[in-house]
Amino acid sequence: MTEKQKETVNEEVVDEAVELNKQPENSKEASEENQVDEVTQLKADLAEKEDQYLRLQAELANIRKRNQKEKEDAAKYRSQSLATELLPVIDNLERALAIEVTDEEGQNLKKGLEMVMDSFKTALEHEGIEVIDPLNQPFDPNYHQAIQTAPLEEGQEANTVVNVFQKGYSLKERILRPAMVIVAQ
């Protein structure tokens, strides 16, 4: 080997050594960069999971509140279906009580019906059921159902209930049945 060849080989060996020395540094730097990227990704994943956790907690709290409100409403309006079924019975009792009787048997029967009606009224009041009887009140479509109109007479105002065909009923603030009325126009 000539001197020139030896120098070339030595230079190649030195270059390879330098390259080999550089690779671990590059590997270390690459490894550190990978670790930093991995830590950043893990932090992002953690933040996402924490956000999901907080959202689920809020959703569970809303579900609990909704269920509690539904339970309260169910308890508050538990007698709604029974009351709705009994309203025609009350209407029929009122019609029976409106009949004029002349003999003693009829009087006794009417007195018994009055006692039954009083018991019904007491039970309805106990459950929070109120009568909507809007005679001479302004017409309110939330509580009244107009079945007919009548011409205005002296002293009446427009849109005033002049006759109640059928009483309405409400349970607390919920309407069970609107009052069927005749309205002055």
> pLDDT category, 61, cuts 50, 70, 90?
very high
| pLDDT of res. 102 | 87
* Secondary structure of 39-60 in HEC code, one letter for each residue: HHHHHHHHHHHHHHHHHHHHHH
Give which of 125, 170, 172, 171 is closest to 144, Cα–Cα: 170
Q: Which residue has the higher pLDDT, 152 or 59?
A: 59
> pLDDT category, 117, cuts 50, 70, 90?
very high
Model confidence over 25-55: pLDDT tens digits? 556 666 778 888 888 999 999 999 999 999 9
Model confidence over 86-96: pLDDT tens digits? 889 999 998 88
Is residue 165 classed as helix, strand or coil in its secondary structure? strand
| pLDDT of res. 49 | 92
Model confidence over 141-174: pLDDT tens digits? 889 999 988 888 877 888 888 989 899 999 888 8
Q: Which two tokens mark 139?
A: 């017409």
Give which of 127, 134, 179 is closest to 161, Cα–Cα: 134
Please tell me whether the overall predicted TM-score, pTM, comes out greater than 0.85 for this model. no
Q: What are phi and psi of 18, to 5 degrees?
A: -60, -45
Class level of CATH domain 80-184: mainly beta
> pLDDT category, 16, cuts 50, 70, 90?
low
| pLDDT of res. 85 | 86
| pLDDT of res. 155 | 76
Rounded distance between C-alpha atoms, residue 104 and residue 112, angstroms:
12
